[in-house]
Chains A and B, each alone.
Chain A
Amino acid sequence: MTGIAAGLVLFALLMGLLVLRVPIGIAMFAIGAGGYVWLTGGELAPLLNSLKNLAYARLSNYDLIVIPLFLLMGQFATHGGLSRALFRFVNAFMGHWRGGVAMASVGACAGFGAICGSSLATAATMGQVALPELKRAGYAGSLATGTLAAGGTLGIMIPPSVPLVIYAILTQESIGKLFMAAVLPGVIAMVGYMLVIRIVVACKPSMGPAGPRAPWSERLRALGAVLPVLAVFLVVIVGIYGGWANPTEAAAIGAAACGVLAVVNGGMRWEGLIATALGTAQASAMIFLVLIGADQLNTALAVSQMPAELAAWVKGSGLPPLLVMTAILVTYILLGCVMDSLAMILLTIPVFYPVVMGLEFWDLTPTDKSIWFGILALMVVEIGLVHPPVGMNVYVINRLAKTVPLVETFKGVMPFLLSDFVRIVALVFFPALSLVLVRTFHT
């Protein structure tokens, strides 16, 4: 049997287990372990021997330790009331525009995304703060929920970003460069969402009435409250990129700073600390279980030689690279209908990455290409969080909003999805959007 055929058999079996609601990490592990035994000649001993070190090797990986640290940082930010300060700040500047409170929500989501690497946490936290404000300001339900579901995706688009860390580890790419490359596309996403709101309220002014103008004294006070958040972001990103601290150290600094802010500014007490500890535990375990499973699956795939054979076949087939890229992106959008973004990255990057690296795109160097593809993959898997039928962010926000029907929320998200597609197409044709900052701040 060829490697591609063996790989396809493994994928088909995996899909079968996933359909039966087996947790993704466990399903990947089961297929990976079974496939490994099958492909190495039916002996159990090599598998049992390799498992001796699997968990320790994975969980003691120095680069991977940034994940629980970033999650801890995000949990401190979530339970420490930093979201409220961010919203007040942006709203003091934009609230008096038509649609301004919704734009402020997007801005605050972006700010929160700069200290939190998870979309669901961003959507949930900002939703709790901004939804009551949007309602009080008389915003239409669908605009309010759509804004926050889409805005929540800024949590992973703006670094630090857990999916990018995973991509970096899988492809041995620099975390610092990927974070830097994600900044500009993240800002473009934020501006795009704000433009969408502007257009929506221009068509239907009653959906987002203007609020009162905030006096400068209040604006300055609000600014004071968010300066520490900005400082944390700069220390983490500049620290990593400037080579001043490695990602793990920068994440430790960020977690410590957010912890201090949460206790001192946010009045976090015992209950908040326990919630932070349990939240970190749950989110880390969720990711690590999928990581361990993916590790085993990738071992089996590597034995089958499927990724290498597929890459060679695509390269030799003479298919236009852009067509291949389009097929990959469409695959992500389809997978996004049923799967979570991290699982998607872990499942597909080992197969797609060699394919992409084997093709020519806009004369990019291999490093540039791998960074560009990382940002592109991040952008497409992220829209799986807002489009039907799974759209986790949509469900989270909808549960918070209570009075808005789910259909309204999905309708409200549509214009934002359109801006996502425009941005992705732009990034495909202009890789510089992701690479320009990496080149400018080259050290």
Chain B
Amino acid sequence: MNAVAELPIAETGEPRAAHAGIDGLGRWGRRLEAACKGSAIAGSLVFVALVAMSIVSISGRKLASTPVPGDVEMLQLCAAFASASFFGWCHLNQGDVKVDFFTEWLGERQVHALDSLGSLLVAAFGALIAWRTAAGAASLHAAGETTMILGAPVWLGQALMVPGFALLALAGLYRAAWHLRHALRSAP
């Protein structure tokens, strides 16, 4: 028998329990996690829906020369807020890209202290962008700008991004406190 024919399921990259959650979160952390996860999954589903719309539009255009009207605008409008909905989950799940080469020799305590500072900056960034994006949406609303083909209000697309960045700000605050607590608890 060929060795490849039989692969033990446990070792073949089956997805690990996706609902398992992040370790070491408190009560508020769990609630925030649920919100971030829900937001991220909803965002991914928006992308799946956009994929379906694109397929319909492409086949419509190639086969019957009738694409979905305004498909490009729709894609841009929805992709923007769907992408924004991903940020909170990524930071809460500690998925940021950072350089850890220079701090490898530091103790756990110092690393937690630095990460607390980093998360605080993430929170500031999330809050700033949420505020400015909301202000941008408000001025677009006042100007009454709409998309070319569908006439969809542009401000709505921008306003829908605000919750995503607000979640990023909350995730940043939570992680800043979390790292600070770990910095104080761990041995110097």
Task: For B2, list chain A residues within 8 Å (CB).
Answer: 92, 95, 212, 214, 218
Closest to B155 in A: A56
Interface pairs (11), CB distance under 8 Å: A18-B99, A21-B114, A25-B97, A55-B161, A72-B47, A136-B3, A212-B3, A272-B15, A277-B45, A282-B40, A338-B99
Assess A271 versus B15: contact at CB under 8 Å? Given A72-B48, A252-B51. yes
Task: State whether the Cβ of A220 lies closer than 8 Å to any Cβ in chain B.
Answer: no
What residue of chain A has the Cβ atom nearest to residue B37's Cβ? A278
Interface residue A11 (Cβ < 8 Å from any Cβ of B)? no
Is A216 among interface residues, defined by CB-CB distance under 8 A? no
A55, B133: Cβ atoms closer than 8 Å: yes
- Interface flags for A264-294 (1: CB within 8 Å of B; 0: not) read 0000000110111110111111101110100
User: Are B12 and A128 touching (Cβ within 8 A)?
Assistant: yes
Q: B90 within 8 Å of A by Cβ?
A: yes
Choose one: A52, A137, A277; the contact of B136 (CB below 8 Å). Answer: A52
Minimum C-beta distance from B48 to chain A (A):
7
Interface-central residue, B18, B19, B81, B111, by most chain A CB under 10 Å: B18
- Say whether B11 contacts A286, CB under 8 Å: no
B positions within 8 Å CB-CB of A: 2-5, 7-8, 11-19, 37, 40-41, 43-45, 47-48, 50-52, 54-55, 58, 72, 75-77, 79-87, 89-91, 93, 95-103, 111, 114-115, 117-118, 121-122, 125, 128-129, 132-133, 135-136, 139, 157-158, 161, 165
**Is A125 interfacial (CB 8 A cutoff)?**
yes
A330 at the binding interface (Cβ < 8 Å): no
Bound-state CA distance A45–B158 (Å) is 20
Pair B90/A285 contact, Cβ less than 8 Å: yes
Q: Which residues of A lie under 8 Å from residue B157 when comparing CB positions? A: 56, 60
* CA A29 to CA B118, docked complex, whole Å: 13
CA distance A148 to B19 in the complex (A): 29
Q: Is A133 an interface residue (CB 8 A)?
A: yes
Query: Which residue from A95, A133, A212, A253 sits with its C-beta under 8 Å from B58?
Result: A253
Which of the segments A81-89, A176-184, A191-199, A429-437 contacts the partner chain?
A: A81-89
Q: Which of A62-70, A321-329, A414-422 contacts B (4 or more CB under 8 A)?
A: A62-70
A366 in the interface, Cβ–Cβ < 8 Å?
A: no
Whether the Cβ atoms of A30 and B47 lie closer than 8 Å is no
Cross-chain contact of B90 among A20, A55, A68, A286 (Cβ < 8 A) = A286
In the complex, the answer to whether B13 meets A281 with C-beta atoms within 8 Å is no
How many angstroms between the C-alpha atoms of A72 and B40 in the bound complex? 13
Q: Are B136 and A23 interface neighbours, CB within 8 A?
A: no
Residues in A neighbouring B132, C-beta threshold 8 A: 48, 51-52, 54-55
Contacts of B72 in A (CB 8 A): 62
* A337, CB-defined interface residue at 8 Å: yes
Contact, CB under 8 Å: B12 / A84? yes
A83: chain B residues at CB < 8 Å are 13
Whether the pair B89, A51 counts as a contact (CB closer than 8 A) is: no
Separation of A138 and B118 alpha carbons in the complex (Å) = 45
Once the chains are docked, how many angstroms separate the CA of A290 from the CA of B118? 14
A212 to B9, CA, bound (A): 22
Instruction: Decide if A24 touches B12 in the complex (CB within 8 Å).
Output: no
User: Once bound together, how far apart are the Cα atoms of A136 and B12, in whole Å?
Assistant: 14
- Whether the pair B101, A390 counts as a contact (CB closer than 8 A) is yes
Given contacts A275-B15, A282-B90, contact A62 B76 (CB under 8 A): yes
Give the docked Cα–Cα distance between A252 and B161 (Å).
Answer: 22
Q: Check A425 for interface membership: any CB of B closer than 8 A.
A: no
Top 3 nearest A-B pairs (CB, nearest first) are: A52-B136, A285-B90, A128-B13
Q: Is A245 an interface residue (CB 8 A)?
A: yes
- Enumerate chain A residues within 8 angstroms of B103, measured Cβ to Cβ: 19-21
Check A274–B19 contact: CB distance below 8 A: yes
Apart from A81-B13, A275-B16, A286-B96, what are 8 other A-B pairs with CB-CB below 8 Å?
A23-B97, A24-B97, A24-B98, A51-B132, A54-B132, A55-B129, A78-B13, A280-B47
Inter-chain contacts of B93 with A (CB < 8 A): 282
Binds B, one of A150-158, A164-172, A339-347, A355-363: A339-347
A289: B residues at CB distance < 8 A: 87, 90, 96-97
Q: Does A42 contact B (CB under 8 A)?
A: no
* Contact B97 A286, beta carbon cutoff 8 Å: yes
Minimum CB distance partner of A255 in chain B:
B51
Please, which residue of chain B has its CB at the minimum distance from the CB of A269? B15
Which of A20, A30, A60, A249: most chain B Cβ within 10 A? A60
Q: CB distance A23 to B98 under 8 Å?
A: yes
Q: In chain B, what residue has the closest Cβ to A61?
A: B76
Contact of B50 among A27, A56, A252, A286 (CB under 8 A): A252
Cβ-based interface call for A132 (8 A): yes
Question: Is the Cβ of A55 less than 8 Å from the Cβ of B115?
Answer: no
